[in-house]
Amino acid sequence: MAKNDLILLDSILKNIGGLGNASTDEQGRQFERFVLDQVLKGFDLSADEIDAGWVDGRHDGGIDGFYVFVNGHLVVDIGDFAWPKSGANLEVYVLTCRHRDTFKQEPLDALLASLQELLDLGRGERELAGSYSRSVLNARGRLDAAFRMLSLSRPRITFKVVYASRGDVGMLGESIAARGRQIEKLIAANFSAARAEFVLLGATELVEMYRQGKTFSLTLSFTEHLAASQDGYVVLADLNAYKEFVTDEQGHLRRYLFDSNVRDFLGRNRVNSDILNTLENLQAPNFWWLNNGVTILASSANVVGKKLQMQDIQIVNGLQTTQSIFLHFLEMDREPVPDIERRRFVLIKVIVTADEHVRDQVIRATNNQSAVDASALHATDKIQHDIEQVLNENGWFYERRTNYFKNAGKPVASIITPAFLASAVACMVFKNPTKSAIRRRFVSSPQVYAATFTEQHPIGLWPVLVVCMRLAEAALTREAELSQTIAPGHIANWRGLVAFLVVARHFQTFYYSVHDLARMNATSLTEAAFDEMNAFVQARKGGKARANYETVLTVIQAAAEVFAIEGDWPNARRLFAESPRHPAKIVAISIKPELLDAIDAALPSQPWPRHIHAQIARELSLTAAFTRKAIQELIRLGRREKQWGGKLLPRIPVPPP
């Protein structure tokens, strides 16, 4: 290790983490997060996705990060993952990090003992001798599910076990190297076809990884080209040249170039099987005759000799083709590349424009030529543009396209994702804080998406939601720093409940409306208010790790009494059926007590005539649908009787106890 690398690394950690006089435990957490970011940089994960596999905490078994990837996509929700039917590439990353300036054997001893159990997928959770946190067990469950789902397709399996510290890799003892070999043998014993790699990262290696940024300015070697003035080019590039263009220095696919491509790689479905068969069949017609090719957006492009230099690259169509070409060369696994691969070509269309509106039109057009779930095209929706603008005016960067601002180097704390906003809507608009964690499924159901990101919400709502959620996160972070025992997922699980209760306390009712929320001056909410509410939640959640319905109900009922919050929370919240097979629908609505009283006063004596709700709606300037539901609520509360066809229904007598 160069003498100054440790100093350089500590300086980087201080600058990006704002460590200053942070405690030893907090420095360790910041170091862990830094290592996770660097090791997984090639997968272009969002901050929320990094958190999903960050399992450090009590009973972590010596594991700080546990990630499962299928075809380069992180597996988070097993039930919502698009499993490929064949041709899969399964990658598993297990990381342990120590904020020390040396490498010790102790962390590897703990890791080896844990992996001996966790990688034996024949054992159920109850058969494990060690005590493991729910985060670790969930990560193991994702590996188990991926292995079983893909086993029949003979996936390519790779394990990478990483041990990182601030030490010098060149000064290692034999005992650490021996432990590394044991870990590799253990993986081979459990997964016979897997490739296992044990990696040590010290200060020098981490500094080098940090310096390797994402490159959006690249050069493509081509064989022939057609220029269309300054508006674009059509080029033929040989397969190997294109593979080199989309591959980074570590041999990984530059996945960040596909942020604007709405489709994930679909594995070996019929189309991709045809692509791979064409690639594998050296007697087939030239590849570009049988393939539609690739579309690239760039802000500028220039031809110099037989090279096309492009700036601000986004591959907006052709992910299936690109991934298939990448896997083709990966499976060949040999050098040098056969000459025939330099005589087979891929067709590439390069569109040159810096106009965001035009770029959005190109993205939608190029990705809408075959059946695609409409939810995949949301980045170009008007509401997403509107949210981006209003948040930007309030100092936030809204990533309607994944990692756009992260790649631009904007502060992580100022970046807001659609999934984060969906969580905020669920907690404070739908008043359902059981959905506190990031809602990754909100795009799986068009109905849920439409209800979440609707233009009927006042535009001023979005900054309010962001401020409240960020203040709740800050309160939880301060608590985590004091307790020093909080797992990373703790903040995502409880921030929504804290934010919701602060808002409800502000209005003194659970029946506030979305317009009330949008008009609220969020800057008037103090850190002290969120700290107080967080302390209240932590004291009454009974040690529960998840914000399930029973726990949330207990906490909210206590808060209603202590903070004098009026209303009935179960009636105020809005519930959504999130499964794509079952359309989302509201099963309860939020009605202010005074409005309910006004409707009750306007109703005549029963039995009232049919369609009375329409008459009351006209008198009170309400919608007929809302008034009908309000009358149903009055009946549910026992303030009015049930009737049908203009006649009262008889009450069912309650049997004596």
pLDDT, tens only, 74-129: 898 787 677 777 667 899 999 999 999 889 999 999 999 999 999 999 888 888 88
User: How many CB atoms neighbour CB 642 within 10 A?
Assistant: 13
CB 308 within 8 A of CB 302: yes
Q: What is the pLDDT of residue 585?
A: 40
Q: What is the pLDDT of residue 584?
A: 37
Q: Using the structure block, give the residue that is written with the tokens 């409306």.
A: 513
Q: What is the pLDDT of residue 92?
A: 96
Q: Which residue has the higher pLDDT, 489 or 556?
A: 556
pLDDT digits (tens, 9 = 90+) for 121-153: 988 888 888 889 888 998 999 999 999 888 877
Q: What b-and-e string marks burial along 395-423, b requiring 16 or more CB atoms within 10 Å of the CB?
A: ebbbbbbbbbbbbeeeeeeebbbbbbbbb
Mean pLDDT for the stretch of residues 293-319 = 87
Q: Say if residue 230's pLDDT is above 80.
A: no
- The two structure tokens encoding residue 449: 């998406």
Strand residue runs (E) in 63-135: 65-70, 73-74, 89-97
Question: According to DSSP H, which parts of 252-346 are helical?
Answer: 270-280, 287-290, 319-332
Amino acid (one-letter) located at 482: L
Q: What is the pLDDT of residue 273?
A: 64
Q: Which residue has the higher pLDDT, 355 or 525?
A: 525
pLDDT digits (tens, 9 = 90+) for 590-628: 577 778 888 888 899 888 887 888 888 877 777 777 788
Diameter of the chain by CA atoms?
Answer: 94
Q: Is 497 exposed, middle or buried (0-12, 13-18, 19+ CB in 10 A)?
A: buried
CB 36 within 8 A of CB 201: no
Q: Which residue has the higher pLDDT, 390 or 579?
A: 390
> Residue 157: which H helix or E strand, with range?
strand 156-164
The Cα-based distances of 629 to 238, 516, 586, 594, 596 in angstroms read 64, 20, 11, 15, 10
Q: Using the structure block, give the residue that is written with the tokens 């939608």.
A: 364
442 — pLDDT class (breaks 50, 70, 90) = low
Q: What is the pLDDT of residue 520?
A: 92
Q: Say if residue 201's pLDDT is above 90.
A: yes
Q: Say if residue 470's pLDDT is above 80.
A: yes
Report pTM.
0.62
Q: What is the pLDDT of residue 62?
A: 93
Q: What is the pLDDT of residue 491?
A: 82
CB 613 within 8 A of CB 602: no
437 — pLDDT class (breaks 50, 70, 90) = low
The Cα-based distances of 252 to 234, 243, 510 in angstroms read 26, 10, 50
Q: Using the structure block, give the residue that is written with the tokens 């169509």.
A: 317
Question: Does a cis peptide bond (omega within 30 degrees of 0) precede residue 650?
Answer: no
Q: What is the pLDDT of residue 170?
A: 85
Q: 3-class SS at 415?
A: strand
- The two structure tokens encoding residue 121: 């997928």
CA distance 297 to 511: 47
Question: According to DSSP H, which parts of 403-488 are helical?
Answer: 404-407, 418-424, 446-452, 461-483
